[in-house]
Amino acid sequence: MTAIKRILGTAIGFVMVLAFTGTITAIVFSLAVPDKTALREFWEEVRCIAGYPVAGSQCAQDTIRRADDAVAAANQRRAEAEEAQRAAEDALARGDLEFAQGPALKDGVSLVVGTIYLDATNRTGLVRSFCWAIIDEGGLDPRVGLAIRDASGRVRVLPLSDDDIALMELQPVEAAAAHASCPWPGGII
């Protein structure tokens, strides 16, 4: 017990000496520096690095700008997703969404791709394709979105939540690789 007290006392004493020495050094340095703006700028930089920028400083403005940029990017992605959803709903209402059945991932879970065409009759003018895993539950068949392919052929894999993976009753590795088997128009990419 005395050893613990001795170690604790030594540690507290060391911290006190360090704090005292740092305080005296800071006071002497602030008195010795003729230009206080350099000291003020140094302190602002330290606060910026620590994540507590001085109000109105360039660091605070940069932090606000980065946050605004992140919000704008998120809003842009949300607007694109809403537009894609509206396009899919409109195409489905017009009968312009063509479906292609894909392979079964397991018993009761299969892949389906719905493709929006400008001309669904001739299957020309591909706008966008959506790949889903369909869970056959005899009536209401839930869908889990796996990927979206745009007209240029670029595929964007959708993130799967733990609930999506549980709904498909697949292992996480199997669920993550399922998008590679989507029956895209023109073949699997």
Q: What local confidence, expressed as pLDDT, does residue 13 receive?
A: 92
Task: Name the pLDDT band for 44 (thresholds 50, 70, 90).
Answer: confident
Q: What local confidence, expressed as pLDDT, does residue 53 receive?
A: 79
Distance (Å) of CA 13 to CA 1, 3, 16, 27, 124: 18, 15, 5, 21, 80
> Is residue 79 within 8 Å of 103, Cβ to Cβ?
no
Q: Per residue in 57-104, pLDDT tens?
A: 787 788 888 888 889 988 898 888 788 777 667 766 666 678 888 888
Distance (Å) of CA 93 to CA 81, 97, 125, 137, 168: 18, 8, 18, 24, 27
Please tell me the distance from the alpha carbon of residue 73 to that of residue 115, in angstroms, as a whole number: 27
Q: What local confidence, expressed as pLDDT, does residue 10 receive?
A: 92
The ranges assigned to domains in the chain are 2-70, 96-181
Q: Per residue in 105-161, pLDDT tens?
A: 888 888 888 888 877 777 777 788 888 888 887 777 788 888 888 888 888 888 888
188 pLDDT higher than 60: no
Q: What local confidence, expressed as pLDDT, does residue 187 receive?
A: 62
38 pLDDT higher than 70: no
> Is residue 98 within 8 Å of 157, Cβ to Cβ?
no
> Is residue 189 within 8 Å of 179, Cβ to Cβ?
no
Please tell me the distance from the alpha carbon of residue 68 to that of residue 133, in angstroms, as a whole number: 36
Give the other-Cβ count within 10 Å of 116's Cβ: 22
3-state secondary structure of 137: coil
14 pLDDT higher than 90: yes
23 pLDDT higher than 90: no
Amino acid at 119: D
The set of residues, in sequence order, having a beta carbon less than 8 Å from that of 61 and lying 6+ positions away, is: none
> Is residue 59 within 8 Å of 44, Cβ to Cβ?
yes
